[in-house]
Amino acid sequence: MVISFDSIDLRTKVPEIPRSLDVIETSAPSIKERHRAIETMAETLKLGKRKMVDLPHGTAYFSRRGEVEYFQASGAVWSRDAEAEQAHDNELRKWPDLIKEGGDEDTRFALPEKTSYQLLAHAKDLIGAADLADKAMDGGRVVLDQVAQLSEKGKIMQSGAGGATVIYNFSMAGLPVFGAGAKSTLAFEPVDGVPKVVGGLHVWRPPRKGQQIEIPSIEEALSVGLLQDPELLRYSKKGGKISITKLDFGYMALPAMMQQRYLFPVFDVQGEVTVEDDKLGYFLFSRYHHAASAASYKKADLYAPYLASMN
């Protein structure tokens, strides 16, 4: 049994999807291929003399100051300056010339344009030096953590900014790549008024080639996953109203610790379920669902456990 497409309240634009699409073959870079990235991050964070340790997911290089880790399943590289984390009593950071926006109840802080440009330029140089640049990456954006300290009664005692992160998103063939396996970030904190890199994460399996598969109509594509979602189906049977507030189409990249040979098409779905007889009244949901059926992959002679289920 599936949920009727007509019973769903679509509060967002339905994306256009092609009738055929390349499933993109990828490859996880080896530790040798990631040597430059590992060394660049270790030097940037001034980790000094390091000890190599084999872990279930890959290899780590530890020092008293921090570590750099390599993930074998994806070729991902993660690093952090542990001393930087321990140098503060709380999450507030002293950025110079912070811009205060909004009122007392909705105060937000932003970095000056000059500082944001500086972070983006520094990140670009470091990504290049680490040999992590890829044409699938965008130009990056700066996200500043918003921090508030509350009293026991919930009153804001102090607010300000935390660390800043330069985030790169990925896209292939004009489509966004969703998921934890398409992520490149560099974390910054101010030290004596000057931005300093305190960690980073790069998860991206470089694309090799594509193999075309058939994509059904939008209703058929949604019935592959969304319209068969067990939780939504259960509430639908109870008379619940399902509303979709976001419906995007793109590729899925799995987390760093998972083996993945193919980027495959999915829907990025967000919505709300309203149930009159339920105590909560409603709940929000957010998830990814396959857009191509197992039959489409079989026809293209493509096989992998995650092509049938992401759970």
The CATH number covering residue 281 comes to 2.40.128
Average pLDDT, the chain: 93
CB under 8 A, 24+ apart: contacts of 101-108 = 107/159, 108/146
Domain boundary among 204, 224, 257: 204
Question: 155 and 238, same structural domain?
Answer: no
Give which of 246, 282, 304 is closest to 10, Cα–Cα.
Answer: 246
Which domain covers residue 115, as residue numbers? 28-204
Please compute, for residue 131, the number of CA atoms within 13 A of its CA located in the half-sphere on the CB side.
12
189 bridge partner residues: 196
Q: What is the pLDDT of residues 76-126, one digit of tens each?
A: 999 999 998 888 888 999 999 999 987 666 789 999 999 999 999 999 999
DSSP string, 117-159: HHHHHHHHHHHHHTT---TTB---EEEEEEEEEE-TTS-EEEE
CA-CA-CA-CA dihedral for 15, 21, 22, 23, to nearest 10? 70
- Same domain, yes or no, for 159 and 290? no
226 and 146 belong to one structural domain: no
How far apart CA 50 and CA 64 sit, in angstroms, is 8
Among candidate residues 177, 204, 231, the one where a domain is terminated:
204
pTM above 0.85, yes or no: yes
Q: Note whether 199 and 89 are same-domain residues.
A: yes
As a whole-number percent, the residues of the chain with pLDDT over 70 amount to: 96
Q: Which of 204, 219, 236 is the last residue of a domain?
A: 204
150 and 62 share one domain? yes
**Cβ-Cβ contacts under 8 Å for 118 (sequence gap 6 or more):** 195
- Residues comprising the chain, all counted: 311
Regarding whether 146 and 70 lie in a shared domain, the answer is: yes
Confidence of residue 281 (pLDDT cuts 50, 70, 90): confident
pLDDT tens, 60-75?
999 999 999 999 999 9
Same domain, 176 and 41: yes
Judged against a pLDDT cut of 80, whether residue 278 lies above it is answered with no
Q: Are 76 and 148 in a shared domain? A: yes
What was the pLDDT predicted at 22?
A: 95
User: Apex CA 200: angle with CA 38 and CA 264, to 5°?
Assistant: 90
Q: Are residues 158 and 213 in the same domain?
A: no
pLDDT at 216 over 90: no
**Based on the domain organization, do 197 and 226 belong to the same domain?**
no
For residue 48, count CB atoms less than 10 angstroms from its CB and return exposed for 0-12, middle for 13-18, buried for 19 or more: exposed
Distance (Å, whole) CA 87 – CA 114: 26
C-alpha–C-alpha distance, residues 89 and 151, integer Å: 17
Of residues 301 and 104, which shows the higher confidence score? 301
H-helix or E-strand spanning residue 85: helix 82-86
- The number of distinct structural domains making up the chain is 2
Co-location of 111 and 231 in the same domain: no
Q: Is 204 exposed, middle or buried (0-12, 13-18, 19+ CB in 10 A)?
A: buried
* Tens-digit pLDDT profile for residues 18-60: 999 999 999 999 999 999 999 999 999 999 999 999 999 999 9
Same domain, 215 and 113: no
User: Does residue 5 surpass a pLDDT of 90?
Assistant: no
